Amino acid sequence: MTPPAIETDGLRKQYGDTVALAGLDLRVERGEVYGFLGPNGAGKTTTMRLLTTLLRPSGGEAWICGEPVTDREAVAPHVGHLPERPPLYDELTGREQLRFAGELRGLGSAEADRRAESRLDALGLDAGTDRISTYSTGMRKKLGIAQATLHEPDVLFLDEPTNGLDPRAARAVRDRLTALAADGTTVFLSTHILPVVEEAADRVGLLNAGELIAAGRPARVIDRAEGGDLEDAFLELTHEER
């Protein structure tokens, strides 16, 4: 049986006395788009960093495609990660950045270039020969997505991918995510922009103060909050918990 894309069992992270994540139980199937919601400081970024092996859990367990998150070498090939601030080098051009990321992942330079070209095309980014220092926020996000998907990961973690984008750029990013999901990539999406999640996510999870307080299909979460839209549900559920 194929293991789920993401599975956690009592995943916990604590900084001193502060509990950032209090026993998260989560299961995300392959090819799903999972919207991970929560107010500022709820623990969303911490969860993403735990699942991408960039933080060490204080307790509990988690697996990506069946590999434990404590084994970075095993997990890394399965994940693509776009932090809120994409890890890009201003002094390189977009194409150089992608070639570097591709080679780092073990691709040959020709293959890295070929994939870079296709990712840039898919995102409508035609500034591959310009230095990244000249890129707008939207271009950086697009390049970040291209970089995170270059090695064709099974699971893509995106932290606020549409933050700071104008509507056109946000639409381009959203379309790309939908296309990736259609190709079978699992997308784990953290954002404050709820309409994006409502439109794109198969299921959502609502995190508040380190605890998962609601999870399921968007319509079900909305019903639980007695109607309205996801934004109403978000406000009502996070308010209840406070």
Partner 1 sequence: MNWRRRALLVARVHVRRRVRRALDRPKRSVLLVSLFLLPVASLFAPEQFGGGGFAVGADGTVSGDGATARIAAVLPPIFTGVWLFLFLAGAFTVDDRLDDVDGGDLLVLGGGIRATVLGVSLAEHARRLALFGIWFVVGAVGVIVAGAGVAALPLGAVGFVLLLVSATTAGHAVGLFARRELLDRGIPVRRTGVALAVGAYLTFVAFVTLPIGVDLPLGELGAALPTAWFADWLLLEYPGAAVRPARLLGSVAFGGGVAVAGFLAKERLAADVWFRDPGPERDAGGGTALDAADTIGRLVRPVVGPAAAAVTWQVLLRRLRSPTVLAIPVVGFLLVEHELRTGLPAEWYPLAVAGFAALALPAAVALNPLADEGVGLPLVLASGLAGRAFVAGYAAAAALSAWLGTATALLVAGVLFGVRPVAAAVALVAVVPLALVTAPVAVTAGTVLPRNDAHETVASEGVGFPSKYAFAVYALVVAAAAAPFVAVAAFAPGMLLLGGVGALLLGGVAAAVGSRVAASRFESFALD
Contacting residues toward partner 1, per CB under 8 A:
15-16, 18, 20, 49, 52-56, 72-73, 76, 79, 81, 83, 87-92, 96, 100-101, 103-106, 147, 151
CB 174 within 8 A of CB 189: no
Q: Which is nearer to partner 1, 12 or 203 (CB)?
A: 12
Whether 13 and 58 have beta carbons less than 8 Å apart is answered as yes
Beta partners for 214? 206
Q: Which two tokens stand for residue 56?
A: 């060490």
Note whether 129 and 157 are within 8 A (CB): no
Q: Which is nearer to partner 1, 52 or 208 (CB)?
A: 52
Minimal distance, residue 109 CB to partner 1, in Å: 10
Considering the complex, state which of residue 76 and residue 235 has its C-beta at the smaller distance from partner 1.
Answer: 76
Q: Among the residues of the chain, which ranges form H helices? A: 44-51, 72-75, 94-104, 109-123, 137-149, 167-182, 194-200, 218-224, 230-241
Task: Kindly tell me which of 118 and 133 has the beta carbon lying closer to partner 1.
Answer: 133
Q: Is 3 or 106 the residue whose CB approaches partner 1 more closely? A: 106
- Number of H helices and E strands in the chain, helices first, is 9, 10
Within 8 A by CB and 6+ apart from 120, the residues are 94, 95, 98, 126, 128, 146
